[in-house]
Chain A
Amino acid sequence: MSVIVTAILALLGLAAIFGALLGFAAIRFKVEGNPIVDEIDGLLPQTQCGQCGHPGCRPYAESIADGGDINKCPPGGEATIQALAELLDVEATPLDSEHGEEIPKQVAVIREPECIGCTKCIQACPIDAILGSAKHMHTVIASECTGCDLCVEPCPVDCIDMVPVDQGLGAWHWSSPKDPKIIATDKIGSTVEGASLS
């Protein structure tokens, strides 16, 4: 009998100690917010364009963390979908065309002589990349512009153009070689000969 009591007491004691330890750890090492949201947010292109149907990249990240689709971000394109699929260990799905197509990087450019200085685009820009004040010409800080396109619509005189970014030599890099398509028994030029024979 006393053995059973001792065993129960010992177990209870252990349970109390570990419970206290876990309780302490839960408070001491409490993680604020959802860390997965931060990770997802880190992969998104941060254009804050709202094409995914969420008001900004973080809300979209939150929706993905809650199990939403990962294929709603046209600015990020396939690369972002791949990265998200890898992070969340889910199947990479093709971009949902409902939210837009993946287009080359672009920036907003204000046709400055036509600008009337209404400040509407400044208010629309999610990252404060437009400079100007009331009744003075505005201009886009090209290096900061994410090409989200949100400033185009509010402009009352339609003087904002979205132009593809000139990547220049600095952004050029080697393209990937094509994957080998032949097998070892193929001989050089055999396909050409075969084609000419047929």
Chain B
Amino acid sequence: MSASIKGKLINTRTLSDFHGGIHPNEMKSLSNLTPITKAAIPPKLILPLQQHIGKASQVIVEVGQHVLKGEKLADADGMISVALHAPTSGVIDSILDHPIAHPSGQTDRCIILIPDGKDEWCELEACEHYEHLSVSKIQHKVREAGVAGMGGAGFPTEVKLHPPHHDKVATLILNAVECEPYITADDRLMRERASEVVQGMEIMAYALQPGECLIGIEDNKPEAIAALREAVKDTRIEICVIPTKYPSGGEKQLIKILTDKEVPSGKIPADIGVMCQNVGTAAAIYRAIRFGEPLISRITTLTGEGIQQRGNVEVLLGTQIDWLLSQYGYQAEKTQRLIMGGPMMGFTLKHTDTPIVKTTNCILAPSANDLPLPPPAQACIRCGLCAEACPATLLPQQLYWFSRAQEYDKAEHHNLFDCIECGACSYVCPSSIPLVQYYRHAKGEIKQLKQDQQKSDQARERFEARQFRLEREQAEKDAKRKARAEAAAKAQAAKKAAEAAQPADVNQKTDSESPIAEPVDTKKAAIQAALERSQAKKSVQAIEIEVPDLDALKTAWDKTRSKLEKMHDALDNAKENNPEQVEKLTRAVEKNQMRVNQAKQAWEKASASQSLETQPSIVPEAEKAPAPDIDALKTTFEKSLAKLEKMQDALNNAQPEQVEKLTRAVDKNKVRVQSAEQALKDAKQSIQDGEL
């Protein structure tokens, strides 16, 4: 480059510099001397659904369908995604998994289009003045046109046309650096279509409203600089010529050079108010807005000694690389390997039948002379050249040790993820250690581990939720069972209490086949009956206090005796039919026996005392001594009241154990008998008092 040209390139802007960087052989003149040619329509187009970063597009065509050039084949799916269009008119042959241009050589879903050769456009929505469109309309059109970053990353451009939420874009940078050796696609594009690039940038500036618009370009492209200078006349776009150094074209490095700002670790340029776009993308935006043309082709550099007609071609997306190379004098025998991208950041293609995609800026077919295979790696001699070369100011040597030893935490602490994988460290390494490959591997491993961790955390959460649910269900079940058991026990207690209160009555009812196993639904009725009887008895006692107690006692004795007999019958019955009830019944019978004895004693006592008194008329007795009689009456009344209450308590607090229940019921009965005895004594006393 002559000094006069160089003098013209110097601009007024103060440029900064980034740390490190290298100066590899540029090798650009291999391909940048001839104009862009148009590649022919291939016999078959293979269109991967994922040519961009983000979610794969969603197919909207069917196999066998005829499509026109520019017709949408797949829709953008989600925020970070773009559409895909037919590069030429033809028929959708199939939708299948096909090897794609990827370092893994794996397959991915692709639409196979067989061109019909007519190259017939569909209807396009052109727009002469982008200023008439709203910003959101422009964003939508860019998304629908399938424009994704053409510098190599393939990030959906539409996303980068939205200004950041919190503040506006201070600087819009168009990246025209193209610092990687061999690649000249952007160089030729700027030379031949500078106005498209500039107008594309103006559309971006319209959407983003930045404080300043800069085009960063290396000083090894004087013709492109001249063309751009011509094109930016009467615009506010400033062209910044920067010294040639690899990797100035790295987004963060370019921002550092042009604005002296550094993108913080883990952040994106938008966070510091800078937006960076590639020149190819700018041209694609221009065509999408001005002519409504979707992104269906791109400029790709074909270079390396293995290709005879080296240069830049405008090639339809989906063109298979082997077919394309065959059109340009590819000599497989001279080529040692095929590289997609440049020699620094590209990758070796495992299959040559993979298609050109939106991010394919170069196909490099170097001879063994051109780009020899790296010699075997040797031990690290800790020379530190890698740290000097690193444009991200990392410590490549440390990262190397940590990555090799799989000490990923430490690698992360040394900011492994700030590595831009530019390959400068590997380039300068005197031991030929494939440093970048170690970093790539470590990055992948860390991502994988994080994903696994996330998955296992999710699994743990689900497992714990399930455990909690099972426990809760069990507790609910237990509670229900307990409630049921309690209800049953209560009912049982009530039944027993009722039985105890009116034993004869109940026995009469149940002296059929199984006297003890009384049906549950009669229990309530029994309780009600018992309560009523108890009430009735009270009133009877209240009214018939004058009636000789002897008679009542006799009746009670008779009743208990007859009950006992019946119980004996039941016991005999149970012995035959219900063995498990026998024990209970036996006990009940014993209790009844006792009661009968008590009643008998009471009656005997009473009759003995009565006989001494020789026919004391009841009515006169009552007339003679009304006061004591009323007292007795009251006592009896109160006692029976107390009994009633107790019985009710018993009904409420009954325990499931049968024996306990029975005992209590019998106790109650005892109290009743005693109270009857007491009443008798009182009555006797009152009679005697009356006599006195």
Within A1-56, the residues touching B (CB, 8 Å) are 41, 44-48, 56
Q: Hey, which chain A residues are within 8 Å of B463, CB to CB?
A: 46, 48, 56-57, 126-127
Q: Hey, which chain B residues are within 8 Å of A45, CB to CB?
A: 452, 456, 459
Residue among A146, A171, A173, A179 with the most chain B CB within 10 A? A173
Contact between B379 and A47, CB atoms less than 8 A apart: no
Contact for B460 among A41, A79, A171, CB less than 8 A: A41
Contact for B376 among A48, A56, A171, A186, CB less than 8 A: A186
Q: Hey, which chain A residues are within 8 Å of B378, CB to CB?
A: 180, 182-184
| Minimum Cβ distance to chain A for residue B354 (Å) | 13
Contact between B456 and A176, CB atoms less than 8 A apart: no
Q: Is B96 an interface residue (CB 8 A)?
A: no
Interface pairs (10), CB distance under 8 Å: A41-B460, A44-B456, A45-B456, A47-B459, A128-B462, A146-B456, A146-B459, A174-B440, A180-B431, A181-B376
Q: Is A144 an interface residue (CB 8 A)?
A: yes
> A128-B462, A174-B437, A182-B376 given as contacts; is B456 within 8 A of A46 (CB)?
yes
Q: Hey, which chain B residues are within 8 Å of A126, CB to CB?
A: 463, 466
Contact for B104 among A47, A127, A129, A169, CB less than 8 A: A169
Q: Is B388 an interface residue (CB 8 A)?
A: no
Q: Hey, which chain A residues are within 8 Å of B104, CB to CB?
A: 169, 172
Q: Is A194 an interface residue (CB 8 A)?
A: no
Q: Is A198 an interface residue (CB 8 A)?
A: no
| Minimum Cβ distance to chain B for residue A53 (Å) | 18
Known contacts A126-B463, A169-B50, A180-B431; can you find 12 more A-B pairs with CB under 8 A? A44-B456, A56-B463, A79-B449, A171-B451, A173-B443, A173-B444, A173-B447, A174-B441, A176-B403, A180-B376, A180-B377, A188-B375
A144–B466 CA distance with the chains assembled, in angstroms: 13
> A173-B445, A176-B441, A180-B379 given as contacts; is B106 within 8 A of A127 (CB)?
no
Contact between B438 and A171, CB atoms less than 8 A apart: no
Interface of B is mostly: helix
Contact for B108 among A48, A56, A79, A169, CB less than 8 A: A169
Q: Is B685 an interface residue (CB 8 A)?
A: no
Q: Is A175 an interface residue (CB 8 A)?
A: yes
Contact between A184 and B440, CB atoms less than 8 A apart: no
A44–B102 CA distance with the chains assembled, in angstroms: 33
A173–B108 CA distance with the chains assembled, in angstroms: 15
Q: Is A113 an interface residue (CB 8 A)?
A: no
A169–B456 CA distance with the chains assembled, in angstroms: 21
A13–B239 CA distance with the chains assembled, in angstroms: 79
Residue among B106, B437, B463 with the most chain A CB within 10 A? B463
Contact between B445 and A127, CB atoms less than 8 A apart: no
Q: Which 6 A-B pairs have the closest CB atoms?
A: A173-B444, A174-B440, A127-B462, A46-B456, A46-B459, A180-B377
A47–B455 CA distance with the chains assembled, in angstroms: 10
B residues neighboring A (CB under 8 Å): 50, 100, 102-104, 106, 108, 375-379, 403-404, 406, 431, 433-434, 437-438, 440-441, 443-445, 447-449, 451-452, 455-460, 462-463, 465-466
**Which residue of chain B is the closest to A56 with respect to CB atoms?**
B463
A127–B379 CA distance with the chains assembled, in angstroms: 48
Residue-wise, chain A 136-153 has the 8 Å CB interface mask toward B (1 for contact) of 000000001010000000
Contact for B448 among A46, A144, A173, A179, CB less than 8 A: A173
A174–B436 CA distance with the chains assembled, in angstroms: 10
A186–B466 CA distance with the chains assembled, in angstroms: 61
Q: Is A104 an interface residue (CB 8 A)?
A: no
Q: Hey, which chain A residues are within 8 Å of B102, CB to CB?
A: 169, 172
**Which residue of chain A is the closest to B448 with respect to CB atoms?**
A173
**Which residue of chain B is the closest to A57 with respect to CB atoms?**
B460
Contact between B441 and A177, CB atoms less than 8 A apart: yes
Q: Hey, which chain B residues are within 8 Å of A171, CB to CB?
A: 448, 451
| Minimum Cβ distance to chain A for residue B428 (Å) | 17
Residue among A44, A168, A175 with the most chain B CB within 10 A? A175
Contact between B445 and A177, CB atoms less than 8 A apart: no
> A45-B456, A182-B376 given as contacts; is B103 within 8 A of A174 (CB)?
yes
A184–B378 CA distance with the chains assembled, in angstroms: 6
A54–B145 CA distance with the chains assembled, in angstroms: 56
Q: Hey, which chain A residues are within 8 Å of B455, CB to CB?
A: 146
| Minimum Cβ distance to chain B for residue A118 (Å) | 19
A56–B463 CA distance with the chains assembled, in angstroms: 9
**Which residue of chain B is the closest to A41 with respect to CB atoms?**
B460
Interface size class of A (residues with CB under 8 A): 20 to 34
**Which residue of chain A is the closest to B380 with respect to CB atoms?**
A180
| Minimum Cβ distance to chain B for residue A170 (Å) | 9
Contact between B462 and A172, CB atoms less than 8 A apart: no
A142–B145 CA distance with the chains assembled, in angstroms: 34
Contact between A169 and B433, CB atoms less than 8 A apart: no
Q: Hey, which chain B residues are within 8 Å of A176, CB to CB?
A: 403-404, 437-438, 441
Contact between B457 and A46, CB atoms less than 8 A apart: yes
Q: Hey, which chain A residues are within 8 Å of B451, CB to CB?
A: 171
Q: Hey, which chain B residues are within 8 Å of A186, CB to CB?
A: 376
| Minimum Cβ distance to chain B for residue A198 (Å) | 20
Q: Hey, which chain B residues are within 8 Å of A57, CB to CB?
A: 460, 463
A192–B415 CA distance with the chains assembled, in angstroms: 40
Q: Hey, which chain B residues are within 8 Å of A169, CB to CB?
A: 50, 100, 102, 104, 106, 108
Q: Hey, which chain B residues are within 8 Å of A146, CB to CB?
A: 455-456, 459
**Which residue of chain A is the closest to B50 with respect to CB atoms?**
A169
Contact between A48 and B103, CB atoms less than 8 A apart: no
| Minimum Cβ distance to chain B for residue A37 (Å) | 13
> A174-B441, A176-B438 given as contacts; is B462 within 8 A of A144 (CB)?
yes
| Minimum Cβ distance to chain B for residue A187 (Å) | 9
Q: Hey, which chain B residues are within 8 Å of A129, CB to CB?
A: 462
Q: Hey, which chain A residues are within 8 Å of B100, CB to CB?
A: 169
Contact for B106 among A82, A144, A172, A175, CB less than 8 A: A172
| Minimum Cβ distance to chain A for residue B653 (Å) | 40
A48–B456 CA distance with the chains assembled, in angstroms: 10
A48–B406 CA distance with the chains assembled, in angstroms: 27
| Minimum Cβ distance to chain A for residue B425 (Å) | 13
| Minimum Cβ distance to chain B for residue A73 (Å) | 11
**Which residue of chain B is the closest to A178 with respect to CB atoms?**
B377
A69–B223 CA distance with the chains assembled, in angstroms: 70
A26–B444 CA distance with the chains assembled, in angstroms: 44
**Which residue of chain B is the closest to A45 with respect to CB atoms?**
B456
**Which residue of chain B is the closest to A141 with respect to CB atoms?**
B462
Q: Hey, which chain A residues are within 8 Å of B466, CB to CB?
A: 126-128
A82–B445 CA distance with the chains assembled, in angstroms: 14
Contact between B379 and A184, CB atoms less than 8 A apart: yes
Q: Hey, which chain B residues are within 8 Å of A188, CB to CB?
A: 375-376
A168–B102 CA distance with the chains assembled, in angstroms: 12
**Which residue of chain A is the closest to B376 with respect to CB atoms?**
A182
Contact between B456 and A180, CB atoms less than 8 A apart: no
Q: Hey, which chain A residues are within 8 Å of B462, CB to CB?
A: 127-129, 144
Contact for A127 among B377, B438, B443, B459, CB less than 8 A: B459
| Minimum Cβ distance to chain B for residue A132 (Å) | 15
A46–B404 CA distance with the chains assembled, in angstroms: 28
Q: Hey, which chain A residues are within 8 Å of B459, CB to CB?
A: 45-48, 127, 144, 146
Q: Hey, which chain A residues are within 8 Å of B447, CB to CB?
A: 173
Q: Hey, which chain A residues are within 8 Å of B103, CB to CB?
A: 174
Contact between A177 and B375, CB atoms less than 8 A apart: no
A79–B453 CA distance with the chains assembled, in angstroms: 12
